[in-house]
């Protein structure tokens, strides 16, 4: 029995740990936060190490085919777990200045959200898919409004919940229609239905549109992006960092699986949905961010744009473009973690570092963080010699090779426009005169993560082959049926 459940041990470990830590928090009450917080961090670290040591070498299905484990999915899970662990590690300096966040529920909600993401990636049945998405979403709704005494945080949580409920309704309706037309709820059975049906019924196509719409909301792609700027701005900064990384990768991984397994590969009509979402996300992400003065709103639009670039690989399809999509997301997560580590490192009770004007003179008050942030922003802009260049290069080259010229041109233009607001932040840090900000001792964890992220961007530009080869193998394993 234990051997048959080995593929689901990471999820079982995470669920059991979260329940135990929840009981610890309830019994210890006010004194439980530091214990639960650091134990939650080590739960994620142990889970990451375990998944690396016992890495699966084959595809395994469990629970009557409702759960699937593949090497490619394990790689995506490990990255999600690592992003969550990094967010926990770089948050204590911020939490110390925000007493409302010093509650044991905070890290436990992170654990439940990560559990939902892992189950999303391994979902092989419509019921598993919906339950896992709701498990993740409910935890994220509470996290968005976790600073309940802050008006913007409460507003962020309410908006996220209201619009998230709408997307969940669309997703559930799509799942119901899909089951009604195919007669099955398992992914393998639906895939067989798609393969052996010459002409898809209109209702089946409508079902797929509803499902895709619900998942596009989760990755904040246009036209389901409207919640992102308000939620990013209103949420506490560590939670915003979490929103930007792990949930996007998990949702995009699930969207990728659905597009590969449910959509007829010989039809171009369904690609129009992804084409429009990619173009809209790139343009909105580039132009809407220009006038933003709040750094978290700016990064929200930036994340929308980056999702648009990544979705180019989804539009094109095939091993190479999907590998480029995964490569782009890995680099994006590293860049985002580094940028938010810089923000959390600079945060203090007296200076929030949320408006762009607050960055004036940062090169003098904190030259190391200013330099690291500059490298990360240039990487986000896609400029060499940083890894962000390879992410965009392989995406755009794939579009050109498959003759998606319009998509490639829009992507390049959007990338050039987006570079403007990244360079604007750098200009403010190095050219504008700021207020006298005392040099203070930097939090070790946040500064270390920021520096490691910047070094990775340089190292992956010089030696990208290892990551590229890994993403090639991951894409091939995802496509393999």
pLDDT 10s digits, 285-340: 999 988 888 899 999 999 999 999 999 988 887 778 888 899 999 999 999 999 99
pLDDT at 4: 59
Could you tell me if residue 411 is inside a domain? yes
| 3-state DSSP assignment of residue 266 | coil
Give the Cα separation of 158 and 107 in Å (integer): 21
Could you tell me if residue 287 is inside a domain? yes
pLDDT at 188: 82
Q: What are the angstrom distances between the C-alpha of 33 and each of 94, 95, 412? A: 14, 11, 46
pLDDT at 349: 45
| 3-state DSSP assignment of residue 384 | coil
Give the Cα separation of 2 and 111 in Å (integer): 23
Please check whether residue 143 is in contact with residue 127, taking contact to mean a CB–CB distance below 8 angstroms: no
Could you tell me if residue 217 is inside a domain? no
- H/E stretch holding 176 reads helix 151-182
Among 112, 364, 85, 362, residue whose Cα is nearest residue 245: 85
Cβ-based neighbours of 115, under 8 Å, separated by 6 or more: 11, 14, 15, 18, 135, 136
Could you tell me if residue 65 is inside a domain? no
Give the Cα separation of 215 and 247 in Å (integer): 11
Token pair listed for 117:
């993401």
Give the Cα separation of 378 and 430 in Å (integer): 14
Give the Cα separation of 364 and 360 in Å (integer): 9
Q: What are the angstrom distances between the C-alpha of 204 and each of 34, 197, 314, 454? A: 50, 11, 20, 46
Token pair listed for 214:
């619900």
Task: Tell me the residue range of the domain where 299 lies.
Answer: 268-481
Q: How many residues does the chain have?
A: 481
Give the Cα separation of 399 and 216 in Å (integer): 21
pLDDT at 139: 92
Could you tell me if residue 95 is inside a domain? no
Could you tell me if residue 235 is inside a domain? no
Could you tell me if residue 332 is inside a domain? yes
pTM: predicted TM-score of the whole model, two decimal places: 0.92
- Total structural domains within the chain: 1
Please check whether residue 309 is in contact with residue 280, taking contact to mean a CB–CB distance below 8 angstroms: no
Give the Cα separation of 33 and 103 in Å (integer): 6
Please check whether residue 214 is in contact with residue 171, taking contact to mean a CB–CB distance below 8 angstroms: yes
Could you tell me if residue 12 is inside a domain? no
pLDDT at 274: 87
Q: What is the full per-residue pLDDT of the chain (481 aa) written as tens digits? A: 445 577 888 999 999 999 999 999 888 877 788 899 999 999 999 999 999 988 888 888 888 888 888 898 999 999 999 999 999 998 887 887 777 778 888 899 999 999 999 999 998 889 999 999 999 999 999 988 888 777 788 888 888 888 888 888 889 988 898 888 888 888 888 888 877 776 777 777 888 888 888 889 888 888 888 888 888 988 888 899 999 999 999 999 998 888 887 776 555 667 788 899 999 999 999 999 888 888 999 999 999 999 999 999 888 877 788 888 999 999 999 999 999 998 888 875 455 677 888 888 888 888 888 899 999 999 999 898 899 999 899 999 988 988 889 999 999 999 999 999 999 999 988 887 766 555 556 678 888 888 999 999 999 999 989 999 998 888 888 876 6
């Amino acid at each position: 029995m234990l051997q048959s459940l080995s593929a689901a041990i990471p999820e079982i470990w995470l669920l059991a740990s979260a329940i135990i830590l929840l009981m610890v928090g309830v019994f210890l009450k006010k004194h439980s936060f530091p214990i639960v917080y650091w134990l939650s961090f080590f739960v994620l670290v142990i889970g990451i190490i375990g998944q690396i040591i016992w890495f699966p070498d084959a595809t395994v299905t469990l629970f009557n085919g409702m759960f699937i484990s593949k090497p490619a999915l394990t790689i995506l899970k490990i990255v999600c777990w690592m992003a969550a662990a990094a967010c926990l590690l770089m948050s204590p300096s911020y939490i110390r200045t925000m007493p409302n966040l010093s509650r044991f529920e905070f890290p436990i909600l992170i654990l439940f959200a990560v559990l939902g993401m892992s189950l999303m990636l391994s979902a092989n049945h419509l019921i598993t898919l919906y339950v896992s998405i709701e498990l993740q979403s409910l935890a994220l709704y509470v996290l968005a409004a976790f600073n309940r005494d802050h008006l913007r945080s409460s507003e962020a949580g309410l908006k996220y919940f209201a619009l998230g409920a709408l997307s969940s309704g669309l997703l559930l309706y799509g799942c119901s229609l899909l089951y009604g037309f195919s007669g099955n709820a398992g992914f393998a059975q639906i895939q067989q239905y798609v393969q052996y049906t010459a002409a898809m019924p209109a209702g089946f196509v409508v079902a797929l549109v509803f499902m895709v719409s619900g998942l596009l909301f989760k990755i904040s792609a246009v036209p389901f992006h409207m919640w992102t700027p308000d939620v990013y701005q209103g949420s506490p900064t560590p939670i915003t960092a979490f929103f930007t990384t792990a949930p996007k990768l998990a949702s995009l991984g699930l969207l990728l699986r659905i597009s590969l397994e449910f959509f007829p590969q010989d039809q171009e009509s369904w690609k129009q949905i992804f084409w429009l979402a990619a173009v809209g996300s790139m343009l909105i992400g580039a132009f809407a961010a220009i006038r933003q003065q709040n750094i978290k709103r700016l990064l929200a639009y930036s994340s929308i744009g980056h999702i648009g670039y990544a979705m180019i690989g989804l539009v094109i399809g095939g091993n190479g473009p999907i590998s480029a999509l995964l490569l782009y997301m890995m680099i994006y997560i590293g860049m985002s973690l580094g940028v938010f580590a810089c923000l959390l490192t600079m945060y203090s009770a007296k200076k929030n570092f949320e408006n762009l004007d607050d960055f004036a003179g940062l090169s003098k008050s904190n030259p190391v963080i200013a330099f690291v942030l500059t490298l990360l922003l240039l990487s986000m802009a896609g400029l060499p010699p940083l890894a962000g260049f390879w992410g965009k290069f392989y995406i755009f080259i794939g579009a050109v090779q498959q003759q998606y010229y319009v998509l490639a041109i829009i992507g390049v233009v959007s990338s050039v426009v987006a570079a403007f607001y990244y360079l604007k932040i750098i200009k403010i840090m190095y050219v504008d005169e700021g207020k006298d900000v005392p040099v203070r001792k930097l939090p070790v964890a946040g500064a270390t993560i920021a520096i490691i992220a910047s070094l990775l961007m340089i190292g992956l530009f010089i030696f990208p082959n290892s990551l590229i080869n890994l993403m090639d193998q991951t894409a091939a394993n995802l496509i393999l049926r």
